[in-house]
């Protein structure tokens, strides 16, 4: 007699023969929507998984994020299958699903060309048409190693030796087989809506000294509408790419003679940066912060004491001078700690809120450098709060409030909030980590912010809150980090004299609200497509005289606006008026003032707004006050 097990689905319990595949069990049920996967006791599995014990079973359909991730991972296998059919002898690396798509790494002598990608995509569609079953194959470790050795797949052999257990999970579709835990869609016919996007170089296991591979990127969705929507988004993102708009608007540049990842801020970009910094300082003063400055290097011993040399792998090699080793700073925190230790502190002194726009240096591999988003030298809007235990909760909530205030002023209204917990490599005691995590979690709950737990994503010295903004294209960008740290207080022996006359450890809160100014600037460029609001625009107002006789008047106007703190300029060029207006539009200057005889006589200007055209005449004094109001209120739109 067949052995029966109990399967619980949505509080209903059914009896099923042991070793029945989920797909066979599913065929006996009447469901409104056919699931693609299942979750057994919390673990996602394929439908060909056998039911072997009493369990809770949950259906997963295509509407879930998990299903989309599995579809994309299956699409990466489809990609590898097609590559091996077209280019026999190619070695396969890894092919995960990633945010918005998937990729697969290949080892071959020649890079993939655009024509190759077209052929690969065509072959993928042929395999989809064949509706090839995707089946899980369990092999002993020895048999799996033998199989992949015979196929000449040395990279797979290396992975199995490293990660394979006694029994190795693989997935097969026709002649293609891959070492993989799964799950996958039931057959290739499910992968109808996909697109290959690009190819680039990569390194095996991310090691620059390792084998150089070719990586092909793609994306996949369950519907054509979703795929088309994403491809349209990519086209819009290309138009907004800060690496394209930066040079066009003369905002910044890189120069290989200086080295990769090092930014030159041009006057236009610097004007925007100064506006950001002035607003940042103003809001920090209002919130009770004091400003500090620190050097760019320190003796290597400082970084040994802080733990960075042990736990942080993005530091430059030390500089040797007069027999002493110095280190370019990757962080600002040890310097602020030295200021704290400069004299004894009392409980009455706390909290101390010290902020710095501090430039730091981190070695990033050349392959990951990306415009302003990933650089080697950047300025953090850094701050540290030293406080007592009874002040900690209020201080964290205060930081959250300031972060949201700043981000909203720049036009960001949607946020994803994450609470990152203890990583594998950490300093300090787990008990302290638990206390710190609970303190951050309580602050988020008290502020009424929805958040997700990001397990193991804390930095080595403490758990953290991350706030990601959503830009105009609904992309997420990391900005705010609020991190609690018990570790450095211990390492640097920080203390204050309490009301009881005894020494106590202060709590240390690290925080950056905008993150790096460079990265935040890149996000702003793409968010606004270079059409900055008036308060941020590098040139806020341009005066365009119709004839030379109007030059004196527009120069006086420009000077008057500059004396009021506004960024104004004059276009004196002997060009046609239409050309000068088009040029101002191309430069995305928000306010253009045309001046002729009538305007001089009436003490007015003929106003044009970027992207909105002619707005008619306005008296100079009224116009000045309206522009000042736009800047003062950090207005995101122009209402004049």
Nearest CA to 381 among 302, 307, 291?
291
Q: Rounded distance, CA 194 to CA 82, Å?
A: 14
Q: Rounded distance, CA 393 to CA 418, Å?
A: 17
Nearest CA to 76 among 152, 175, 185, 160?
185
Residues marked active site are found at 333, 362, 380, 382, 384, 464, 510
Nearest CA to 183 among 171, 174, 172, 192?
171
Q: Dihedrals φ, ψ of 357, to 5°?
A: -85, 85
Q: Which residues contact 164 (CB under 8 A, 6 or more apart)?
A: 141, 144, 145, 179
For 264, the enclosing helix (H) or strand (E) is strand 263-265
The count of other CB atoms within 10 Å of the CB of residue 458 is 23
Q: Rounded distance, CA 140 to CA 170, Å?
A: 11
Q: Are 532 and 524 in contact (CB under 8 A)?
A: yes
Q: Are 617 and 604 in contact (CB under 8 A)?
A: yes
38: helix, coil or strand?
Answer: strand
Q: Which residues contact 69 (CB under 8 A, 6 or more apart)?
A: 97
Q: Are 424 and 456 in contact (CB under 8 A)?
A: yes
Distances, alpha carbon 555 to alpha carbons 346, 583, 600, 618, in Å = 57, 19, 12, 18
Q: Which residues are paired to 379 by β-bridges? A: 359
347: helix, coil or strand?
Answer: helix
Buried residues in 179-209 as b, exposed as e (16+ CB within 10 A)? bbebbbbbbbebbbbbbbbebeebbbeeeee
Q: Rounded distance, CA 177 to CA 356, Å?
A: 54
């Amino acid at each position: 007699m067949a052995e029966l097990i109990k399967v619980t689905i949505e509080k209903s319990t059914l009896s099923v023969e042991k070793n029945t595949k989920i797909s066979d069990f599913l065929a006996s049920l009447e469901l409104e929507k056919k699931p693609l996967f299942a979750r057994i006791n919390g673990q996602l599995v394929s439908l060909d998984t056998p039911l072997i014990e009493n369990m809770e079973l949950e259906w997963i359909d295509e509407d879930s994020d998990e299903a989309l991730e599995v579809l994309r991972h299956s699409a990466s296998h489809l990609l590898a299958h097609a590559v091996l059919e077209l280019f026999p002898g190619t070695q396969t690396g890894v092919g995960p699903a990633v945010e918005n798509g998937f990729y697969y790494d290949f080892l071959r002598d020649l890079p993939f060309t655009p024509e190759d990608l077209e052929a690969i995509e065509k072959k993928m569609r042929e395999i989809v048409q064949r509706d090839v079953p995707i089946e899980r194959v369990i092999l002993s470790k020895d048999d799996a190693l033998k199989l992949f050795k015979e196929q000449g797949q040395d990279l797979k052999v290396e992975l199995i030796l490293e990660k394979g257990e006694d029994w190795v999970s693989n997935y097969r579709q026709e002649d293609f087989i891959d070492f993989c835990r799964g799950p996958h869609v039931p057959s290739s016919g499910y992968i109808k809506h996909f697109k290959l996007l690009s190819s680039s170089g990569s390194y095996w296991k991310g090691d620059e000294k390792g084998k150089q591979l070719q990586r092909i990127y793609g994306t996949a969705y369950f519907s054509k509408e979703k795929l088309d929507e994403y491809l349209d988004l990519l086209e819009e993102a290309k138009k907004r790419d800060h690496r394209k708009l930066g040079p066009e608007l003369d905002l910044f540049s890189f120069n290989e003679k200086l080295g990769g990842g090092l930014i030159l801020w041009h006057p236009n970009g610097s004007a925007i940066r100064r506006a950001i910094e002035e607003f940042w300082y103003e809001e920090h003063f209002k919130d009770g912060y004091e400003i500090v400055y620190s050097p760019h290097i320190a003796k290597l011993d400082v970084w040994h004491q802080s733990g960075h040399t042990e736990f942080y792998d993005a530091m430059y090699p030390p500089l040797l001078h007069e027999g002493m080793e110095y280190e370019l700073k990757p962080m600002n925190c040890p310097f602020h700690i030295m200021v704290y230790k400069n004299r004894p502190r009392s409980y009455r002194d706390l909290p101390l809120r010290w902020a710095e726009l501090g430039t730091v240096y981190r070695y990033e591999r050349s392959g990951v450098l990306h415009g302003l988003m990933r650089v080697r030298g950047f300025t953090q809007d850094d701050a540290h709060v030293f406080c007592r235990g009874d002040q900690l909760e209020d201080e964290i909530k205060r930081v959250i409030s300031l972060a949201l205030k700043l981000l909203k002023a720049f036009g960001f209204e949607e946020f994803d909030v994450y609470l990152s917990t203890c990583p594998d490599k950490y300093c300090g005691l787990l008990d302290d980590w638990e206390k710190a995590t609970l303190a951050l979690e309580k602050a988020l709950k008290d502020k009424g912010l929805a958040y997700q737990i990001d397990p193991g994503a804390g930095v080595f010295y403490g758990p953290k809150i991350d706030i990601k903004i959503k830009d105009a294209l609904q992309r997420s960008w990391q900005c705010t980090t609020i991190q609690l740290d018990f570790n450095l207080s211990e390492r640097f022996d920080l203390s204050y004299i309490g009301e009881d006359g005894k020494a106590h450890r202060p709590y240390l809160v690290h925080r950056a609200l905008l993150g790096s100014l460079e990265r935040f600037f890149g996000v702003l460029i793409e968010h606004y497509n270079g059409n900055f609001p008036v308060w941020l625009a590098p040139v806020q107002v341009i005066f365009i005289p119709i004839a030379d006789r109007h030059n004196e008047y527009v120069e006086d106007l420009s000077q008057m606006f500059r004396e009021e703190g506004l960024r104004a300029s004059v276009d004196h060029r002997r060009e046609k008026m239409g050309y000068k207006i088009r040029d101002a539009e191309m430069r995305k200057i928000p306010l253009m003032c045309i001046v002729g005889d009538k305007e001089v006589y009436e003490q007015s200007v003929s106003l044009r707004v970027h992207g909105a055209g002619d707005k008619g005449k306005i008296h100079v004094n009224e116009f000045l006050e309206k522009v000042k109001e736009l800047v003062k209120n950090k207005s995101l739109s122009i209402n004049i």
